[in-house]
Structure 1
Amino acid sequence: MPSPIPVTRLLPKDLYPSLELGTFSSPLTKPLDGSSLQVPVQRFHSRAASRLWSSVIHWQELRSVQPVGSGGFGAVYKAEYFGEIVALKRVKKCTKNQLASRQSFWAELNAAHLRHTNIVRVIAATTGVPKSVGDESSIGTILMEFVHGRNLQQIIYDTAEPLGADRWLRYGTDVVRGLRFLHAHDVVHLDIKPANVLVSSEDVCKIADFGCSLKLDRGCEVNTIGPHLSHVGGTYTHRPPEMLKGEGVSPKADIFSFGITLWQLATREQPYTGDRQHVLYAVVAHNLRPSVEKHAVFRSEIGRQCRTLLNRCWSADRRCRPSAQELTSQLEQLQQLGTGERD
């Protein structure tokens, strides 16, 4: 299946001279000899090595592969690669929906060419696997930076450690900084939630898991979701009403999901209870949103301003939601206000 991502959108033209050809690579171009797939791949000594991902995995350099976890579309391992600790993700074929699993693999690469502190870095990706390490159920393999820490889901619900306003505001600011960068490059994540935000050992949030993401057409504020894009969806508790209704996708979908995530950080509760179908219907038909009235955290000055911000983030009208740029400024101001209150 050809990649929906043209190679020219992944590799800047001015860097092509520093590239060489390798095998077992992502099918971004037609095979050169009809027997194997080959595309440009960076040299490790290249000036651009810190900016580009590679379309070749040097399997002989993988060491100490250990399972970390598994999910709907694959499994994640911890490994050593050229002396660096990495995360290895194998995307598996979904027997019920093979198209969705293939699209999920390619979607993981929508942000592969981007580098930002608050986004998990892709190191290499390939669809080819040597027989010695092959897995017939695998569509492709992705190597990413290994984030030594936990995710926000674990911090919110699985620990008793304090999560004061200064901390959850800082986490929220990290996430919107990552979103601001993604949206500036026409990438929407479409599955922002605590489980998809990793927290490093330095306590920095990094957006992960781009399996539901889309690359938007440049200059187009809203993209239509075609029936061929079966991987688009995200988690129902964080999905905006326009996507529940099957309407177009825009960066404002991520803003809605972020609003739910920020509420979870502030309250440490689940956003909804009850039957899934009831929640889906109520979000669209009755403007159901997580409660901000009963929580003491929203009664302070910072809390009241945050409540106003949340109401804008999860507005039914996406045009009323703030941009990631605006959110970043407002959360940074709230952080400063919190510092002033402590002083």
Structure 2
Amino acid sequence: MKLTGQMDLAREATFLKALVHPNIVSLHSNGKVPGSQDFFVVLEKFEYDLSDCIKRWSKGKLMNTRRDRNLYRLTVTMSRSQANKQYKANRAVERYQVLADVASALQFLHESNIVHRDIKSTNIGITHDGVAKIFDFGLAKELKEKYRVAGTEDYKISIAGTRRYLAPEVFAGKPYNQRADVYSFATLMWEVLMLEAPYSSMKPEEHEKFVYTKGKRLAMKRSWPKNIKNVIKMGWNADPKRRPNIAPIRGTLITQSSLAQMELLG
């Protein structure tokens, strides 16, 4: 286990040296001998991870205490209903912007022929000014031609990831590509909007039967925007060829973030 952790750390450092993007964690420093007992990495500091923010949103708060204080000063003279409307609108802006940030990072990774393989809320860091950044590249994989299944867009690589976010083709041990991340991201979108962990009430065997045997998915609220529900549904398609790539999903999130900001200003 210790050796595996050291190799994961070395793999992460290798990726982060080559990946410079505003929504990917920055590598500040690292040890000299990758995989050695003394190897280390120094990453930029995060205030929260996304799972922490989800807990705050579920309690009616904003992403951090500074934003809460600033908004409180603006709403202290408002009626309760007006103040609640402002908080709701601000939370919507934050949630769609965070998801758009993650989608931006994924688009960059996928265009670089890299699949992250472990997209989930605890692997998304949030900076003090509310920028979301993907971290933990221990399972990330460059999709090299030697892994490609001849005549397809898929690659024969190992099963990796967190079960509740895992695409059906990955769970089944089939060849896969970047659209496995799209499935995981659709689950992350559901989590951010529902404000609860996916499949939290199910035991592993129940989740396996529900998702991978019966082909069912989590329920979405009627109040969610139609375009958002559509991209989640498409991202969850059991056939990866019928899933969109991450770029149009990012576009939908940017549009929805803009609409939420307009509501905030209006």
TM-score (norm 2): 0.78
User: Over residues 51-77 of structure 1, what are the superposed CA-to-partner deviations in whole Å (9 max), with x where a residue is unaligned?
Assistant: xxxxxxxxxxxxxxxxxxxxxxxxxxx
Distance in 1 (CA, whole Å) between partners of 2:263 and 2:142 is 41
Aligned to 2:107: 180
Task: Give the direction of change, closer, same or farther, for the CA distance of 1:116–1:250 in structure 2 (3 Å limit).
Answer: same
Q: Say if 2:61 is the partner of 1:157.
A: no
Choose from 178, 182, 200 the match for 1:251.
178
The answer on whether the counterparts of 1:110 and 1:214 sit within 8 Å (CA) in structure 2 is: no
Aligned residue among 112, 115, 119 for 2:20: 115
CA contact (8 A) 1:244 1:280 kept: no
* CA displacement at 1:158 relative to structure 2: 5.1
SS in 2 for 1:110: helix
- Residues 277-296 of structure 1 correspond to what in structure 2 (within 5 A)? 277-292=205-220, 295=221
| Deviation for aligned residue 1:152 | 0.6
CA distance in 2, matches of 1:278, 1:246: 19
**In structure 1, C-alpha distance between the alignment counterparts of 2:92 and 2:244, rounded to whole Å:** 21
Structure with greater strand share of residues = 1
Count how many residue pairs are aligned between Structure 1 and Structure 2: 228
1:22 counterpart residue number? none
Cα 1:279/1:203, change in 2 over 3 Å: same
Identity %: 24
1:91-146 CA distance string (max 9 Å, x none): xxx16xx4x435423431224211110000123333649xxxxxx9x373122222
CA RMSD after TM alignment: 2.3
**1:323 is the counterpart of 2:232:** no
Unaligned segments of structure 2, at least 5 residues: 63-87
Contact 2:227 2:252 in 1 (8 A): no
In 2, the alpha carbon distance for the partners of 1:101 and 1:182 equals 23
Larger Rg: 1
Q: CA deviation at 1:321?
A: 1.4
Distance in 1, matches of 2:38 and 2:215, equals 39
- The alpha carbon displacement at 1:275 in A equals 1.0
* Contact preservation (8 Å) 2:96, 2:257: yes
Matches within 5 A, 1:306-321: 306-321=228-243
Equivalent residue for 2:121? 194
Residues 126-141 of structure 1 mapped to structure 2, 5 A cutoff:
126=31, 128=33, 138=37, 140-141=39-40
Conserved? CA contact 1:107–1:214, under 8 Å:
no
State the alpha-carbon separation in 1 of the partners of residues 22 and 246 from structure 2.
Answer: 16
C-alpha deviation, 1:218, in angstroms: 5.6
Residue identity opposite 2:11 in structure 1: A
Distance in 2 (CA, whole Å) between partners of 1:242 and 1:282 is 15
- Residue 170 of structure 1 deviates from its aligned partner by 0.7
Of Structure 1 and Structure 2, the greater helix share is in 2
Which of 271, 276, 279 is the aligned partner of 2:204? 276
Counterpart-to-counterpart distance in 1, 2:194 and 2:99? 13
AA of the residue aligned to 2:247: Q
Amino acid at match of 2:196: E
Distance 1:319 1:308 in 2: 16
Kindly indicate whether residue 110 of structure 2 is the aligned counterpart of residue 211 of structure 1. no
Structure 1 residues 115 and 246: CA distance shift in structure 2, 3 A: same
Cα distance in 1 for partners of 2:115, 2:236 equals 16
Which residues of structure 1 form unaligned runs of 5+? 1-93, 130-135
Equivalent residue, structure 2, for 1:299: 223
Deviation of the 1:311 alpha carbon: 0.2
Residues 45, 127 of structure 2: 8 Å contact kept: no
Distance in 1 of aligned mates of 2:161 and 2:241? 21
Q: Give the secondary-structure state (helix, strand or coil) at the position aligned to 1:123.
A: strand
2:42 paired residue number: 143
SS of residue paired to 1:112:
helix
Which amino acid in structure 2 is aligned with residue 299 of structure 1? S
Aligned residue identity for 1:313: G
Give the partner amino acid of 2:209. Answer: Y
